[in-house]
Amino acid sequence: MTGLADSVESMEQLTVVWRAMVLDRNPDADVRDLPGVAVRWADCRFPFWNCVTLTDVGADAETVAQRLGRAADIMRSKRHPGFLWVFEDLLEEEARAALGPAAERAGLAYAFPGTGMAGDLLPVPEPVHPDLTFVRVTTDEHLRAYADINSRAYGLPLEAGRDGLMGSGLWKDRVYAYLGLRDGTPVTCAATVEAEGRLFVVLVATAPGGERRGYGEAVTRKALHEGARATGLTRATLHATAAGAPVYPRIGFIPNSPVRFYGLSTGGNPA
C-alpha cells in the first residue's frame, strides 16, 4: 500500500476499532455511518471514545465545509466532549488549505496533531527492557492501572480514564493489552486489537516521569509480539500523537496521513 490507499486504510481502521470500543463502553453508543461522516460516540467521560471523523475521499472545500458543520452539530448534541478526526490526505489540496478557517466557521477549535502509521512489520521479536516486566491486562485492577496511566499521560482526571475502561470485558478478553511494571509498579502500557486483518495499536501511554527511557516502545513491542503470535497477522496500524510519532518508525511503522483533532470551540456560537 502507498499514498492515498494508506490514508484510506488509516481512516477505515479508526471506524472499525472505535465501533467495537464505544459499543463495549456503552451498548447505546451513537454509532452511525452518515454521508461523509462516521460517528463513534460512547458519550462517556473518556474523550477519546467520543469520536467523529470525516470519511469522504477527495472531498472538495465546499463538501468539507458541509461535513464540518454536520460534525460540529453532532458534537454539540452530546453530553460529554470528544474529538473530530480529520485525515488531511483524504482532502483535496484546496480543501486542505481551507480546513482551518472552515473548521473555525463551524465552531470547531484545533486541539492537537496526530499521524496515521502502518507497516508490514509482524512478527516482532519479544522485547526485553532492563527496567520492566510485562503483564497482560486480565483483571479490573489491571484495567484501573491502565486507565490511570493514560489519564496521567494525557492530563485527564483519573475518573475519565476509568470511565473509559473499568469493567470492560473486551479489554480483558479480545484486546492484547499489556502493562509495563518497574519494581512492581505499572509505569507504561500498550494494547493491540485485531481489526479486519490487521493489528491496531491503541492507547499507548507512559506515566509522567517515565518518558524517554524506552518504556513506550518496549511495551508497544510486547503488545505487537503477543497480538501477532495469537492471530498470525503481519500488518499493523496506529494513530500516533506528537509524543509517540518518533517512536513507532523504530519498530517499523511508516507514517501516512497527518491527522488534525478538533474539539468544540468555547468562543461562542459559530459564524
- Whether residues 155 and 210 fall in one domain: yes
Where is 1: in which H helix or E strand?
none
Residue 271 lies in a domain: no
Is 240 domain-assigned? no
- Note whether residue 239 is domain-resident: no
**pLDDT > 70: percent of the chain:** 97
- Kindly state the cell numbers that stand for 11: 481512516
Same domain, 83 and 141: no
Separation of alpha carbons 121 and 86, rounded Å: 26
User: At residue 134, does pLDDT exceed 60?
Assistant: yes
Q: Are strands 198-206 and 235-241 parallel, antiparallel or unpaired?
A: parallel
Q: Is the pLDDT of residue 192 over 90?
A: yes
Q: Which of 32, 94, 30 is nearest to 65 (CA)?
A: 94
Check whether residue 39 and residue 84 sit in a common domain.
yes
Q: What is the pLDDT of residue 2?
A: 53
Residue-range definition of the domain harbouring residue 90: 4-117+258-264
**216 shares its domain with 141:** yes
pLDDT range class, residue 266, cuts 50, 70, 90: confident
Buried-exposed string 21-51: b where 16+ CB fall within 10 A, e elsewhere: bbebbeeebbbeeeebbbbbbbbbbbbbbbb
* Model confidence at 94: pLDDT above 90: yes
The CATH number assigned to the domain holding 214 equals 3.40.630.30
Query: What is the predicted pLDDT for the residue at 44?
Result: 97
Both 223 and 142 in one domain: the answer is yes
Same domain, 13 and 97: yes
Q: What is the mean pLDDT of residues 194-198?
A: 97
In-domain check, residue 55:
yes
Q: Is residue 58 part of a domain?
A: yes
pLDDT at 243: 84
Instruction: List, in order, residues 6 or more apart from 85 with CB less than 8 Å away.
Output: 14, 51, 52, 53, 54, 114, 239, 259, 260, 261
Of the chain, the percentage scoring pLDDT greater than 90 comes to 94
The domain tally of the chain equals 2
Q: What pLDDT, on a 0 to 100 scale, did the predictor assign at position 270?
A: 37
Report how far residue 109's alpha carbon sits from residue 133's, in angstroms, rounded to the nearest whole number: 40
Q: What are phi and psi of 135, to 5 degrees?
A: -140, 135
pLDDT digits (tens, 9 = 90+) for 139-190: 999 999 999 999 999 999 999 999 999 999 999 999 999 999 999 999 999 9
Same domain, 144 and 210: yes
Q: pTM (2 decimals)? A: 0.93
Half-sphere exposure of 224 (CA within 13 A, CB side): 29
Average pLDDT for residues 193-221, to the nearest whole number?
A: 94
pLDDT at 269 over 50: no
| 128 in any annotated domain | no
In a domain, 185, yes or no: yes
| 249 occurs within a structural domain | no
Q: Read off the pLDDT of each residue in 238-245 and give the average, rounded to a whole number.
A: 92
Residues 111 and 9 in one domain: yes
Give the model's pLDDT for residue 210.
74
Does position 267 have pLDDT exceeding 80, yes or no? no
Q: Are residues 106 and 40 in the same domain?
A: yes
